[in-house]
Structure 1
Amino acid sequence: MSDETKKIKNRYNRVSKIYDVLEGPMEAMTMSTWREKLVTTIEGKQVLEVGVGTGKNLVLYPEDLEITGIDFSEKMLEKAIQKTKGKENIRLIEMDAQDMSFADDTFDTVVTSCVFCSVPDPVKGLKEIRRVCKANGKIVMLEHMRSHHNVAGKFMDRVNFIPLHTWGANINRETIANLLKAGFKEEDIVTQDLWSDIVKLIEIRNKK
């Protein structure tokens, strides 16, 4: 694990006790609805969620799906484990998204939500997702990223240091560009703007 990854991991461990409180207002306004929408896009039975955090998505999955969830922060994962007690279809593992131990072509669908703002090497993490998702499988992402509106984008660049140094999240990531760098094709990526051009629902057909 790189020094940068350890640094971000430690920030999430530190903030884990109050993370749900910090996200509370956004969850109440819109995020919970977006999470529900995300879950409806899943295909197949074998599902991987990368970066489960405190487990907000996990309680939404239908019980007939087999869910594997990973996160590199053991303290965040502890919160997710508490939320999913008694759910036998969910297994949670401490693991780095940039270096997954799963075999190639393991999962029907891979899910992320507000994760690729925090992965230290996002292109490496996206390549790993592409690898472990089955050929012609599906990747669904609920992610925030840098606005391409001139004023908003520049503002996000200026204040990015605040969330980055508080808990390790970048608010100015170019996630669509990173998907292309990771080997996904533009014609296989469908995006839907949920909040301006900052929060997007992304659906990808994993053509290999």
Structure 2
Amino acid sequence: MDKRTEIIRKRYDRFAKIYDLMEKPMEASKLSDWRKDAIKELQGKVLEVGVGTGKNIEYYPKNLDVTGIDFSSKMLEKARRKAKKLNKEIKLIYMDAQNMDFDDNTFDSVFTTCVFCSVPDPIKGLKEIRRVCKPNGKIVMIEHVRSERKVIAALMDIFNPIVVRTFGANINRKTISNIETAGFNNIQVKDLWLDIVKKIIIINKK
């Protein structure tokens, strides 16, 4: 891993013990419902990028063959305990989303939830997703992005350096633009909360 990625990885390792507690208010609102709804879009062999502490594990049906990756070993430890407790068969692998070890065209579906705020080089990570997802495979993302509303966007820009230094996540990423730059062109976007949290569905045309 490069220096920048290592810094972010260490921040997630540091917060792994309290991560679920920190996100509990969001999960109690709408995020858990959005997760369950998005998982309905997945099929076949699934890759979850940035599996974290395993927040999505309980929602995966048995008919999906799921592999989850994360670059934080401490987060993965929690995900493994969660999978065992829930009796869910899911492969959990320590891996950097920017440099995946999978062959080209391995997965039918790829899933992310609140991940591309923290991938150090998001375009590189998105290109890797495009590579490992099969032609015409489906990529489903729930991501928070920089608002297009001037006042909110300005506030996000002001506070972003503090959030990045503290947690390792960016609150002002232009993720839709990054997706297009990574080479995707069949993109559907739905606003889930204001214009900040979005559900993104991509058909992987190659």
* TM-score normalised according to structure 2 size: 0.98
> 1:141 deviation in Å?
0.2
RMSD, matched Cα: 0.9
Counterpart in the other structure of 2:60: 61
Q: Residues 46-103 of structure 1: CA distance to partner in whole angstroms, max 9, x if unpaired? A: 0000000100011100011110000000000001001001645311000000000000
Tell me the CA shift for residue 22 of structure 1.
Answer: 0.5
Asked if residue 137 in structure 1 is aligned to residue 116 in structure 2, the reply is no
Q: Is the 8 A contact 1:64 1:89 kept in 2?
A: no
- The 4+ residue runs of structure 1 with deviation greater than 6 A are none
> Where does the alignment leave 5 or more consecutive residues of structure 1 unmatched?
none
- My pick for the range that moved more, 119-128 or 159-168, is 159-168
Q: Distance in 2 between matches of 1:144 and 1:151?
A: 17
Cross-structure match for 2:74: 75
1:120 is paired with a residue whose SS is: coil
Q: Is the Cα contact below 8 Å between 1:107 and 1:137 reproduced in 2?
A: yes
- The answer on whether the counterparts of 1:144 and 1:198 sit within 8 Å (CA) in structure 2 is yes
Contact 1:156 1:171 in 2 (8 A): yes
Paired residue for 1:163? 163
Instruction: Confirm or deny that 1:175 pairs with 2:175.
Output: yes
- Tell me, yes or no, if the aligned pair for 1:105 and 1:135 is still in contact at 8 Å: yes
Taking the aligned partners of 1:41 and 1:8, their CA distance within structure 2 comes to 30
Query: Residues 88 and 35 from structure 1, CA distance in 2 versus in 1: closer, same or farther, beyond 3 angstroms?
Result: closer
Q: Corresponding residue for 1:189?
A: 187
Confirm or deny that 1:203 pairs with 2:201. Answer: yes
1:148 corresponds to which residue? 148
Query: Could you list the runs of 5+ residues in structure 2 that have no partner in the other structure?
Result: none
SS in 2 for 1:99: coil
1:165 CA displacement: 1.2
SS of the counterpart of 1:20?
Answer: helix
| Equivalent residue, structure 1, for 2:15 | 15
Q: Give the 3-state SS of the residue equivalent to 2:66 in structure 1.
A: strand
Match of 2:41 in 1: 41
In 2, Cα distance between equivalents of 1:26 and 1:130: 29
Residue 38 (structure 1) shift:
1.1
User: What SS does structure 2 have at the residue aligned with 1:203?
Assistant: strand
The aligned length equals 205
Alpha-carbon distance in 1 for matches of 2:88, 2:39: 18
Task: Say if 2:139 and 2:203, in contact at 8 Å, map to a contact too.
Answer: yes
SS at match of 2:168: coil
**Residue 115 of structure 2: aligned partner:** 115
